[in-house]
Amino acid sequence: MLDSNARQYIQPVVDTSADLFLKRGFTANQVTVISFIIGVSSGIFVYFEMTVTALIVLWLSGFLDVIDGTMARKTKPSSFGTVLDVSFDRLVEISVILGLAFRYPDAMWVMLLLSVSIIYCMTIFLSVGAVAEQKGIKTFYYQSGLAERTEGFILFSLMIIFTDYLIWIGLIFLAVEIITSLQRLLEAKKILHAHEGR
């Protein structure tokens, strides 16, 4: 939701940053890899209760993840870049979930359910992106929803900071993912039925 609605407000900063990386000779895929390496370290910092560091690398990774897409659109988007971007995003999220699960084993069952919900939600997202004819600014159809990357980062941050309430925040995150899955299923039905009815 925030990714779709608030993007216009941060886009000038993103454009400037993307131009800076391009002038330095970086490619979009290189920034994707850098974003991944930085982001996946967040789970390690979570496990060792290095809260501030975990939050910094998580959000820096998220910012670079926005920049790499803008860089691709300013040059030439590649299908492989999209694969890298989407798959690396999930690994960053998994690293945070694993860090929390192993640091706080009493909450492991919630982290497991949250992982399942993210997998299912992303399966719908990617399936619709693959079969829908419509294209957005990305190389596939992008379904918005209640939980997009920014909402996920906010909820991950809350779990990292307020560990005494980890289970409750995790359950809220789970509910948000379920609602998003239902939103995307309903949208998929509408989009694909309209296409097949032509």
Per-residue pLDDT at 135 exceeds 60 = no
Report the CATH number at residue 52.
1.20.120.1760
What is the tally of structural domains in the chain?
1
The single-letter code of the amino acid at 46 is V
Q: What mean pLDDT is predicted for residues 108-134?
A: 88
Domain residue limits at 112: 2-196
Per-residue pLDDT band for 137 (boundaries 50, 70, 90) equals very low
Query: Using one digit for the tens of pLDDT, what is the confidence trace for 73-83?
Result: 899 878 898 89
Q: Is the distance from CB of 63 to CB of 10 less than 8 angstroms?
A: no
Query: Of 138, 136, 124, which is closest to residue 183 (Cα–Cα)?
Result: 124
Q: Is 9 exposed, middle or buried (0-12, 13-18, 19+ CB in 10 A)?
A: exposed
**pLDDT score, position 34:** 97
Q: Which pTM was predicted?
A: 0.88
